[in-house]
Structure 1
Amino acid sequence: MEYLHNLIDYGILGLLLFMSVVALALAMERWLVYRAVRVEQYADRKVLELHLSHKLHLIATIGANAPYIGLLGTVLGIMLTFYDIGAAGFDTTKIMTGLALALKATALGLLVAIPAVTLYNLLLRRCKVLLMQWDICHGRKGV
């Protein structure tokens, strides 16, 4: 049973940590791209839109799925706690410790999701501003 506890701790929490690093790296890369882009260099609005929206979906996917991965870790942790209760008997200290440790997966999932969704929304707003600047630069109304 100890290997299942380790799987939850290192597997689920490690995956969430990895997702957090990926979301942050992607957001930083997109921000640097947005700072360097010059809308007047693009003749076609769709080409600019493709360039700006590249990889944004990955940040949104991480933000949307991190809570579910955290919830999976919590459910598995609670299942293991109930299994331990059934195997070893009712020990309040062990039960409360097991439940508290199980909930850390949900907390970490939310800690990954909230910044990822926030970064996605900020980048999406910047993308829309750049597209509006292209429209102004090229004398067009929004498409």
Structure 2
Amino acid sequence: MELLKEYLDYGVIGLLGFMLFVAVAFAVERWLYYRQVAVERFGHLETFHTALTRNLTIISSVGANAPYVGLLGTVLGIMITFYDLGQGGDIETQAIMTGLALALKATAMGLLVAIPSILFYNALMRKVDVLVAEWKRVHES
């Protein structure tokens, strides 16, 4: 239990930081790709759509799962707080509130990772829709 108590914050926040890094890296990669993609180069719409949506699933997955990683950190933090209370026998309001407040930071961090990831995903999907419409205009005229 002491090991979990000592490394919980580092583990959860480290994982969320990695998830944010991955989401931002893929979002930047996709944005740069969309800026230089040549619609005329693709003969089939399915091939074009596949090229456009590569790595978007990862960004979406980060946005969808980051709150759950944060929630897991919060639940484990609350469990540690209750365990400490059960071991000590004393019920100090300050100790309880401090433990719960520290546990809730994991949920906040999860939301701070999820919100930009979902925004990146939605913006990139809008760009995919625009590029597909442009492909249809070029190839159907």
Distance 1:3 1:100 in 2: 20
What residue number does 2:124 align with? Answer: 123
Give the TM-score of the pair, scaled to structure 2: 0.96
Give the TM-score of the pair, scaled to structure 1: 0.95
What residue number does 1:84 align with? Answer: 84
Taking only aligned residues, the RMSD between alpha carbons, in angstroms, comes to 1.0
What residue number does 2:99 align with? Answer: 98
What residue number does 2:59 align with? Answer: 59
- Cα deviation digits, residues 9-51 of structure 1 (max 9, x gap): 1111110010001000000000000001010111111111110
Distance 2:8 2:42 in 1: 48
- Which structure 1 residue ranges, 4+ long, deviate > 3 Å from structure 2? none
In the TM superposition, residue 2 of structure 1 has moved relative to its aligned partner by 3.4
Equivalent pairs counted in the alignment come to 140
**Structure 1: stretches of 5+ with no match in the other structure:** none
> What one-letter code is carried by the residue in structure 2 that aligns with 1:95?
I
> What one-letter code is carried by the residue in structure 2 that aligns with 1:129?
V
1:45 aligns with 2:48: no
Distance 1:5 1:92 in 2: 19
1:132 aligns with 2:133: yes
- Matched residue SS, 2:140: coil
What residue number does 2:36 align with? Answer: 36
Distance 1:93 1:21 in 2: 35
**Structure 2: stretches of 5+ with no match in the other structure:** none
What residue number does 1:114 align with? Answer: 115
In the TM superposition, residue 119 of structure 1 has moved relative to its aligned partner by 0.3
- Matched residue SS, 1:34: helix
What residue number does 1:7 align with? Answer: 7
- Matched residue SS, 2:43: coil
Percent identity of equivalent pairs = 55
> What one-letter code is carried by the residue in structure 1 that aligns with 2:81?
T
